[in-house]
Amino acid sequence: AQSVTQLGSHVSVSEGALVLLRCNYSSSVPPYLFWYVQYPNQGLQLLLKYTSAATLVKGINGFEAEFKKSETSFHLTKPSAHMSDAAEYFCAPLGVNYGQNFVFGPGTRLSVLP
């Protein structure tokens, strides 16, 4: 089965520093790619998505992600971390080779240090 990899189960950054959360897919056919955020004891909220239109996608809360086919990646970035960004982040694919339903990996926990 095709997989999605999120490198780093836990990432810590200082407040004001760059946030970089990594996501790589393995399919030869690029899937649709979504980033979700989950705050403690809450459901998941859609941050942004790539659906084969623009490769640089802007989302909510100042986050953005760039789809790079040559690197099979869809990394999530934010120029300046805020304390409120501390949460769990999930990269999830849909489409050819990944099926019609989301398959979520363990995610990446982001901690923001004062």
59 touches another protein by CB under 8 A: no
Is 56 one of the binding residues for another protein (CB under 8 A)?
no
CB count in 10 Å sphere of residue 75: 19
Q: How far apart are CA 31 and CA 20, in angstroms?
A: 21
Q: Give burial (CB, 10 Å; 0-12/13-18/19+) of 91.
A: buried
- CA dist., res. 5 & res. 13, Å (int): 20
Nearer to another protein, 18 or 46 (CB): 46
Complex with another protein: residue 17 or 104, whichever CB lies closer = 104
Q: Which is nearer to another protein, 106 or 114 (CB)?
A: 106
Work out which of 18, 54, 56, 103 binds another protein, going by CB under 8 A.
103
Binder of another protein out of 43, 70, 84, 114 (CB under 8 A): 43
Q: Whole-angstrom Cα distance, residue 99 to residue 95?
A: 5
> CB of residue 109 vs another protein: minimum separation in angstroms?
9
